[in-house]
Structure 1
Amino acid sequence: MNNLKQLKFWNFGGMYYFYFMVWALIFAFLPFWLNNVAELSTSVAGLVFSAMAVTALILEPIYGVVQDKLGLKKYLFGFVVLCLLFIGPFVQYAFIPLLEINAIFGAIIGGAYLSLCLNGGVGVVEAYIERSTRASNYEYGHVRLFGSLAGGTAAFVGGIMFVRNPYSIFWACTVSAVILGVLLWTLRVKNTENEPNASAEKEEETPVTKENIMNVFKNRSFWGFCLMMIGIATMFDVFDQQFPNYFASFFDDASRGELVFSRIASVQVFMEAGFMILAPWFINKIGAKNGLILAGIVLFIRVLGSAFFTEIWMLAFWRLLAAVEMPLMLVSIMKYITGVFDVRLSATVYMLGFNFAKQVGITVFSYVMGLLYASIGFQNGYVALSVFILIFVIAGALIMRSESYYTKNERDIAAA
């Protein structure tokens, strides 16, 4: 039985590893491919990413409700894997012809397809594995660290592959999808594995109704959680969008700065994996809401520090702090969702409260910060960004209730 339990842990870890290998390869090298291979202008390349974001906004509410109704059934995850399988053929044989027919049309179709796998599909992957690990009595953070390891691996091998053959990146995604599909097919998760969880299992097996879903929107903590996600997850991504260029600007040779930054980013990813091991224990001690607040404080310090302390070694330190922030955020998100909301709706809350809110925030603040960088410079822009972070984190913290507020009876009443 212990051997079987260990095997299942590696199964979960492998699923995270090979999914986020695809994620890291695409997001790291798609911009270079669009520019150097597809020869798209910056505006049309930007349209690809806009199409990915808009498609995700449409998919998230649908994916969330469907996955919650499916529970531990694999059908929606399987659909995401099927989309991943065809990334290699799509990019090699379809994407360029579509762009040649009409650049805007091809960009929209390409972005929408990639969103099925990535921006939209990631919510399915995260929600399903979190629910499955919870049913199997594993800590989410201990399994999620494999995703960080995948990011580090992709950064290491992806550059070599892209230089030799730009299309090899996308075929590597297809190979990863094959392995991911095998791992998903062999996975067996049953709610009845552990007697102590019988009450939770019974709750999971009760059908999800429209009233259950509407109760989520009546819960003030949901709206506070959305604000918190904009303050942390959105601002994390917005800050990282231009930080590599900011970092490289402090070097006489920009290419040297890019190389140093890539090495720092690789170190950060592997440090993140190490902190992911400790994060579940730490969040259990301080509470998920406090974990989110702490992640927001770390991000605030990173952004403000990058504005005022600009020696290269200090900028590297601010980047490495992300290795602490990311585990705090990811583990706290999952623990807060399952501690505050009806566990049957964990996918819906995750996809709407986290992914949807994050995408909306990125759409707005990417544009706002772009204007600020152009008008007042990076350093003053980072001061403004730190203020935005503080406002959203404080507002979210004031509206959210801690998970200790919600007793078991109160959650049952809310779900009724």
Structure 2
Amino acid sequence: MDNTQPRQKKDFWGFPVTDFTYFFQWQIINGYLTLWMEQQGHLDGTTAGFVFSMMAFMSLIFQPIFGIISDRLVFKKNLLVIIAIASILIGPYFQWLFLPLVHINAALVAVVTGIFLSFVFNGGVAVVEQYVQRASLANKFEYAHSRMGGSLACACASFAGGKLFLWSPNSIFWACTVMGIILTLTITFSDKIHMENAAAAGDTSDSLDWSLIGQIFKIRNFWILSIFYIGTSALYDVFDQQFVIFFKTFFHTTAAATTAYSYTTTAQIALEFLLMFPMPWLINKIGSRNGLIAYGVILCIRIVGSALAPSAALVIILRLLAGFEMPLVLTSIMKYIAGAFGIRVYATVYALSSNFAKQISVFIFSTVAGNLYDSIGFQHTYFILGAIVAVATIIAALFLTKEDPVQAGEVAAKKE
């Protein structure tokens, strides 16, 4: 027993580093790409929204393909390494290819950028999360504890990204390249799986079998969960895509806005990081279904509140609410799917409801929201987004099936 503990501990630490290096890049792109496209690429809101729509559209292709490949590879790292190597190219692409393409055709650059970033992030994120989740079962550590590396990365990226952007806008992408190199090395040489425990991750060989998918589609609760994700988690992404432009309107200079945004987002993600550890205990108390509903309520308050906010101070306070949202939804969805659908179909339900359905919504709403920002302004667009979130949350509260607390692991956790 004494010899086993150090080995498990050593084999844990590579995975938070994997999460850190990957989600550092994720946060840089999601936090500063819109601002960079506006100031350096000179794209309007509609074209910027089209970039994100293309990312969502391509993810509809990448996610099912990546899911099938991941289920066949299981613990093999081939696809992970390809995604990591692709992330190294972020710096060169935005430094030397994006601007020349913009001068040729803005629509072309939106398509190319959407395909590239979707490969690395919208499609790649499920590959990374699925791999670390399986590793947590084989190596016997809590997935949420490894995912704290991702939360810490987002806080660091938000803080460093603002400083880097003010120093040299293109440097944010070279920071992604550096992290991509570290990610590739970590995946290749550090992440180790206790293969003797690999069976603990379950039999995933048929998780995307077409007959199994057909059975999932017949479950009413699956459609309710998908509607909830389409109306909440997707709108979370759409709301945040161009939030930095809205945030900037409360300040007299771009430098002041960028600095304030950097500090605010860093504080928000630091709060997310701190809450990630106790959140499983809270969800065990209130139930994962209630955790999902609480997530929808907080998101609605944040979006509508931003539309009504009269000052930067209130916008900042509302932004900090996002620190509660991510721990809530990440912890709740994992427990809820296990408790309401069963662990055997966990990967399939998660891929279809939380990723595939969500990206359909992001694809539709990104361009629509970008157009609305240009035509009716941020405040009125936020009212529309907030109303959609409210409706989706009410539907979930009324029709989402209560999970089995034992199957979800909530009761066992309480006894401990």
State the TM-score, normalized to the length of structure 1. 0.84
Change (3 A) 1:94 1:320: closer
Change (3 A) 1:53 1:26: same
Cα deviation for residue 260 of structure 1 reads 2.7
Change (3 A) 1:371 1:41: closer
Cα deviation for residue 326 of structure 1 reads 1.4
Is 2:299 the counterpart of 1:299? yes
1:17-32 paired onto structure 2 within 5 Å: 17-32=20-35
- What letter is aligned with 1:314? L
Deviation per CA, 1:34-82: give whole Å up to 9, x if none. Answer: 4444555655544433322221122122222332333333222222112
Distance across 2 between alignment mates of 1:65 and 1:204 = 10
Distance across 1 between alignment mates of 2:309 and 2:42 = 38
Cα deviation for residue 184 of structure 1 reads 1.5
1:249-328 paired onto structure 2 within 5 Å: 249-251=249-251, 256-308=256-308, 310-328=310-328
Cα deviation for residue 270 of structure 1 reads 0.7
Comparing 84-93 and 12-21, the one that deviates more: 84-93
Between the aligned residues of both structures, percent identity stands at: 40
Give 1:54's match in structure 2, choosing from 49, 53, 57. Answer: 57
Distance across 2 between alignment mates of 1:212 and 1:329 = 25
- Indicate the RMSD between aligned Cα atoms, in angstroms: 3.1
Change (3 A) 1:30 1:366: closer
Q: Is the 8 A contact 2:287 2:405 kept in 1?
A: no
Q: Is the 8 A contact 1:91 1:167 kept in 2?
A: yes
> What runs of 5+ residues in structure 2 fail to find an aligned partner?
409-416
Distance across 1 between alignment mates of 2:103 and 2:254 = 33
Distance across 2 between alignment mates of 1:39 and 1:86 = 22
Distance across 1 between alignment mates of 2:313 and 2:170 = 35
- What letter is aligned with 2:289? K
Cα deviation for residue 240 of structure 1 reads 2.7
Q: Is the 8 A contact 2:289 2:332 kept in 1?
A: yes
Distance across 2 between alignment mates of 1:206 and 1:234 = 27
Distance across 1 between alignment mates of 2:112 and 2:353 = 27
User: 1:121 — aligned with what?
Assistant: 124
Change (3 A) 1:12 1:327: same
Distance across 2 between alignment mates of 1:88 and 1:372 = 31
Q: Is the 8 A contact 2:89 2:177 kept in 1?
A: yes
Comparing 152-161 and 302-311, the one that deviates more: 302-311
Cα deviation for residue 202 of structure 1 reads 5.4
Q: Is the 8 A contact 1:141 1:279 kept in 2?
A: no
Cα deviation for residue 311 of structure 1 reads 4.6
- What letter is aligned with 2:78? Y
- What letter is aligned with 1:24? Q
- What letter is aligned with 1:88? G
Distance across 1 between alignment mates of 2:386 and 2:149 = 30
Cα deviation for residue 268 of structure 1 reads 0.8
1:239-258 paired onto structure 2 within 5 Å: 239-251=239-251, 256-258=256-258
Q: Is the 8 A contact 2:162 2:262 kept in 1?
A: no
- What letter is aligned with 1:360? I
Give 1:187's match in structure 2, choosing from 169, 187, 191. Answer: 191
Distance across 2 between alignment mates of 1:255 and 1:385 = 28
User: 2:159 — aligned with what?
Assistant: 156
Is 2:406 the counterpart of 1:402? no
Comparing 272-281 and 386-395, the one that deviates more: 386-395
Change (3 A) 1:258 1:169: closer
State the TM-score, normalized to the length of structure 2. 0.84
Q: Secondary structure at the match of 1:403?
A: coil
Cα deviation for residue 245 of structure 1 reads 4.2
Is 2:173 the counterpart of 1:170? yes
Comparing 24-33 and 223-232, the one that deviates more: 24-33
- What letter is aligned with 2:175? A
Q: Secondary structure at the match of 1:335?
A: helix
Q: Is the 8 A contact 1:340 1:403 kept in 2?
A: yes
- What letter is aligned with 1:231? G
User: 1:236 — aligned with what?
Assistant: 236
Cα deviation for residue 296 of structure 1 reads 0.9
Is 2:72 the counterpart of 1:66? no
User: 1:15 — aligned with what?
Assistant: 18
Give 1:140's match in structure 2, choosing from 132, 137, 143. Answer: 143
Change (3 A) 1:231 1:107: closer
Q: Is the 8 A contact 1:223 1:399 kept in 2?
A: no
Comparing 325-334 and 283-292, the one that deviates more: 283-292
User: 2:227 — aligned with what?
Assistant: 227
Q: Is the 8 A contact 1:272 1:324 kept in 2?
A: yes
Change (3 A) 1:290 1:131: farther
Change (3 A) 1:312 1:395: same
Q: Secondary structure at the match of 2:93?
A: helix
Cα deviation for residue 168 of structure 1 reads 3.2
Change (3 A) 1:138 1:202: closer
- What letter is aligned with 1:10? W
